[in-house]
Amino acid sequence: MEQSKQNFDVIISGFGPVGSVLAIFLARKGHKVAIFERWTERYPLPRAVCIDHEMLRMLRTLNLDHKLNDIIHAGGTYDWVNANWQPLVKVDWGAATISQESNVNFVHQPSLEKILEDEIKTISNIQLFLGYEVLEVSQEPDCTHLSAQNIETQNVETFKAQYLVGADGANSLIRKSITSQWIDKGFEADWLVVDVLPHNPDDLKIKGTAAVQYCNPKRPTTIVPAGKKEGRYFRRWEFMRLPHETKEEMQTEAKAWELLSDWIKPENATLIRSAMYTFRSLIAEKWRNNRILIAGDACHVMPPFMGQGMCAGFRDAWNLSWKLDGVLKGNYSANILETYTRERKPHVEDVIDLSMYMGRIICVPDEKEAQKRDESFFNGTAEPMPEFPILTDGLISQKDQFNTLAGNIAPHGIFKINGTETRLDQLAKQQFVLLTSKVVQLSQENTENLAQLNCKVVMLNCDDQTVENGYQEKDDNIRNFMNEHKLEALLVRPDFYIYGTATHIAEVGELVESLSQNLAQYSVTEAAIC
């Protein structure tokens, strides 16, 4: 029996962390959102364990700091060593960043999802449809349709929305509905992932927040923190399946403890789970078909060696949220959604390549090949590690005058306002921000352009509190960044990426005009909605 439609602004298929974050952002902008999920309860065991500085900064915009701090802790060193514990690669995951967060942070995913779910249940314009299996999606020029079956009643219901986003995992029905095929970048390896809760962290050979890739061809092994819950810290081991082993023999509790035996004993820890995964490198060829889009694992799958799987999905949601908000409010035409794929796809391809680079270092089960690898690092002939990517296309300035740092992440800052510390991201409220290192006199035209762009102006370190838009930065993080790069203005997008820069304050008007012209191509008056 099929029941009548309900109308929403956006339907999201999938109740994982990516769909949850996207729903919260859109709902807080006033949009009516529906989330569909086949399961009635969240998966209770950990999967992802890493959040980088950029995405932790994004999560903090949800104003859930006090809850996030209970489940997230900063990373430490990330050491890649050979069988003799000689260093091959060293990454400082605990290093400070321009986001004023540690480079990498560890999270207990079930606890994170619980925090997001609790927040969603307080937001009246998000409707959860748990226990609903999505059967089919379709679209017309002005709307999308979703058909789902209530697992309990077996009733089939249809729903309608202006846009539909598939955040429904690697086997995404939504990806298949837009006939988007996987592109396989060629990495594949089977690993047993084992999560434990140590009874006493001091019993561990690798202590604290340190993470290690043990590149021993006899058993390539990953050892990383896995977040915390109620003050207790989890640990993860990942063991590569060797050529002579079957998947079946790897998937027993006895095998898990056998592999753990060199590191921790059953009397010193509780086994949380062990599960086999095939690490692959896949990217969807198409991320959007008019009003239907995909995000997260639905459009990219990567090896976990850089801890970027969930982060990449969060970047999708972060990129989509402000653009969908603008389209739904009539500020932009639907054409701006073309920049979603143009920006995110090459960025995540580079992240996958970086993860594959790391995977090629550790996934070497042959001793002679491992010796060659070690020697290449010792003598300096090893392939250099790729840089972490920036945006190279889409809505960033392409003018030589303004693109010195366009596509990079902008620095974060904390300001003192009426005796209270306020984060830049709280001031910005997910809108464009013009940061200047000097007081700037804006023309009437500039002021009108900024208002039309919904752009917040922040003039740094103004001792005279009567200056309009003047703010005193607490620790000069932004000011130091601008001095380092000889800049007097930064124009920053709602998702923290730098649109463009100005070396002289006199260029601010032209920089703002550049953004206005760039966005004009997405004006509702100049382009059809769909």
Residue 423: give its domain's CATH number. Answer: 3.40.30.10
Whether residue 74 lies inside any domain: the answer is no
Contacts of residue 289, Cβ cutoff 8 Å, sequence gap at least 6? 139, 178, 179, 180
Domain termination residue (choose one: 356, 374, 403):
356
**445 with 329, same domain?**
no
In sequence order, the β-bridge partners of residue 89 are 80
Question: Is the pLDDT at 101 greater than 70, yes or no?
Answer: yes
Task: At 252, list the tokens.
Answer: 């027993």
> Chain-wide mean pLDDT for the chain?
92
Find the domain containing 420 and state its range.
414-520
Quote the CA–CA distance of 382 and 385 in Å, as a whole number.
9
**155 with 16, same domain?**
yes
pLDDT-derived band at 113 (thresholds 50, 70, 90) equals very high
**32 with 125, same domain?**
yes
Contacts of residue 465, Cβ cutoff 8 Å, sequence gap at least 6? 472
**34 with 171, same domain?**
yes
Domain termination residue (choose one: 310, 325, 356):
356
Which strands, in side-by-side order, build the sheet including 498-502?
Answer: 420-423, 414-417, 470-473, 455-460, 432-436, 489-492, 498-502
- Which string of b and e fits 438-474 if b means at least 16 CB within 10 Å? eebebeeebeebbeebebbbbbbebeeeeeeebbebe
Whether residue 258 lies inside any domain: the answer is no
Quote the CA–CA distance of 81 and 79 in Å, as a whole number.
6
Domain termination residue (choose one: 334, 356, 378):
356
Whether residue 142 lies inside any domain: the answer is yes
**23 with 129, same domain?**
yes
Position with higher pLDDT, 415 vs 313: 313
**422 with 317, same domain?**
no
pLDDT recorded at residue 487: 96
Nearest alpha-carbon partner for 236 in 75, 69, 385, 352: 75
Collapsing DSSP to helix, strand or coil, 242 comes out as coil
Whether residue 91 lies inside any domain: the answer is no
How far is C-alpha 6 from the chain's CA centre?
31
Quote the CA–CA distance of 201 and 223 in Å, as a whole number.
14
**151 with 27, same domain?**
yes
Task: At 24, list the tokens.
Answer: 């919260």
Question: Is the pLDDT at 508 greater than 90, yes or no?
Answer: yes
Host H or E run for residue 193 = strand 182-198
Provide DSSP, 158-177. EEEEEEEEE---TT-HHHHH
- Tell me the helices (H) and strands (E) count for the chain, helix number first: 14, 27
Whether residue 299 lies inside any domain: the answer is yes
- Look up residue 527 and give its DSSP letter: S
Tell me the CA distances in angstroms from 227 to 51, 69, 74, 308, 370, one per residue in order. Answer: 10, 11, 9, 15, 31
CATH of the domain at 346: 3.50.50.60
Whether residue 247 lies inside any domain: the answer is no
Host H or E run for residue 28 = helix 17-28
Mind listing the pLDDT tens digit for each residue in 212-254?
999 999 999 999 999 888 888 899 999 999 999 999 999 999 9
**163 with 40, same domain?**
yes
Collapsing DSSP to helix, strand or coil, 467 comes out as coil
pLDDT-derived band at 529 (thresholds 50, 70, 90) equals very low
**457 with 319, same domain?**
no
Whether residue 277 lies inside any domain: the answer is no
Task: At 137, list the tokens.
Answer: 């999606």
Residue 436 and residue 461 in contact, taking contact as beta carbons nearer than 8 Å: no
pLDDT-derived band at 42 (thresholds 50, 70, 90) equals confident
Mind listing the pLDDT tens digit for each residue in 184-209?
999 999 999 999 999 987 778 787 78
The residue behind tokens 């209530």 is 150
Phi, psi for 21 (deg, rounded to 5): -65, -45
Whether residue 322 lies inside any domain: the answer is yes
Task: Cite the DSSP H helix spans in 293-366.
Answer: 309-328, 338-362
**140 with 26, same domain?**
yes
Pick from 81-95, 226-240, 335-349, 438-452: least confident: 438-452
**429 with 343, same domain?**
no
Question: Is the pLDDT at 530 greater than 50, yes or no?
Answer: no
pLDDT-derived band at 469 (thresholds 50, 70, 90) equals confident
User: Is 164 buried (19+), middle (13-18) or exposed (0-12) by CB count in 10 A?
Assistant: buried
Quote the CA–CA distance of 92 and 161 in Å, as a whole number.
45
Residue 446 and residue 456 in contact, taking contact as beta carbons nearer than 8 Å: no
Q: Count structural domains, the chain.
A: 2
**131 with 16, same domain?**
yes
Contacts of residue 152, Cβ cutoff 8 Å, sequence gap at least 6? 131
Quote the CA–CA distance of 309 and 300 in Å, as a whole number.
8
Position with higher pLDDT, 374 vs 460: 374
